[in-house]
Amino acid sequence: MAFSIHTNHRVLFLLPAGIYLVLVYLCAVWPAMQEQAAMEKIPQPPENELVARGRELYGSFNCVTCHTQQIRGDERKASDNDGVRVVPVLEADARFGRELATRAEEYAWQAPVFMGTQRIGPDLSSTGRRLPEAQWHYWHLYDPQSVSPDSLMPPHRFLFTTEAPTGDAQYDYEEVQVIAGLGVSGGKLWAKPDAVALVEYLLSLNREYLETEGLGK
Ligand code: HEC
């Protein structure tokens, strides 16, 4: 019985090891390859350094603890439209101005994804579309209550300065049009480069590229 698992220790080792490798391939490697292939079919969003930096800051300021980037679909109302599955937006989410629920491909090139789980603030998937003015975002980040009176969002004043930037650095700053509600003494305020990048990222959340690629609204 040269190949008996009870007496041949090579078989005893190789058989489970072989089964283990096959399972690793089937459960991990193969699905990952499928995902990768599916992702590569999805066009990469246009690259923009400022947006990429803003995205990084969005992660490091932990905005994701209060904001999601996912519009839920109402699976009960899903229908088939010429072979394309259409899932209408859950009523509670429809107020974010989306006609379609978020789809997996929207996250394809994002690492990490900021889907979030908490909606203490509104969903931000299409904030650049709803709020396309950079100045509004500066006011809001400096003092959320200046534009949204009952806001719970913490102010991010460290992203601003009242001292006029000088030298070459000034090109990375953005002057804020001071409104009365901000309570800035001296009446002058500049958004620091980090605020400029963060707001650029927020404005980029408008799905334009997905729409041009016919991937969703
Ligand atoms: C403690 C929870 C909390 C955190 C942290 C937080 N937010 Fe908010 N955010 C809110 C709430 C609540 C609102 C809704 C009221 C308002 O407009 O301020 C809001 C609103 C917003 C809006 C307006 C969205 C809209 O469609 O009306 C934007 C944009 C926004 N937040 C961006 C950010 C960014 C960027 C960060 C990280 C720097 C952040 N938030 C961190 C709670 C939070």
Whether residue 155 is predicted with pLDDT greater than 90 in this model: the reply is: yes
Cα(208)–Cα(47) distance, integer angstroms: 13
63-88 residue pLDDT tens: 999 999 998 888 888 888 888 888 88
Report the separation in Å between the CA atom of 138 and the middle of ligand 1, taken as the mean of its atom positions: 12
Do 3 and 101 have their domain in common?
no
Q: Whole domain around residue 147: which residue ranges?
A: 49-212
Do 67 and 25 have their domain in common?
no
What integer pLDDT is reported at residue 213 of this predicted model?
Answer: 64
Do 10 and 102 have their domain in common?
no
Q: Tell me which of 66, 125, 130 to substitute to probe ligand 1's pocket, judged by most ligand atoms within 8 Å of the beta carbon.
A: 66
| Structural domain count of the chain | 2
Asked whether residue 217 is domain-assigned, the answer is no
Q: Is 120 in the pocket of ligand 1 (CB under 6 A)?
A: yes
Report the separation in Å between the CA atom of 3 and the middle of ligand 1, taken as the mean of its atom positions: 66
Report the separation in Å between the CA atom of 59 and the middle of ligand 1, taken as the mean of its atom positions: 13
CA distances from 124 to 15, 32, 173, 200 (A): 51, 28, 24, 13
Do 150 and 197 have their domain in common?
yes
What integer pLDDT is reported at residue 85 of this predicted model?
Answer: 81
112-133 residue pLDDT tens: 999 999 999 999 988 898 899 9
Residues 131-158 have a mean pLDDT of 96
Do 74 and 24 have their domain in common?
no
Whether residue 100 is predicted with pLDDT greater than 80 in this model: the reply is: no
Whether residue 172 is predicted with pLDDT greater than 90 in this model: the reply is: yes
Query: Which residue matches tokens 């990048």?
Result: 197
Q: Give me the chain's average pLDDT, please.
A: 89
Asked whether residue 161 is domain-assigned, the answer is yes
**pTM > 0.95: yes or no:** no
192-214 residue pLDDT tens: 999 999 999 999 998 777 666 66
What integer pLDDT is reported at residue 217 of this predicted model?
Answer: 45
Asked whether residue 96 is domain-assigned, the answer is yes
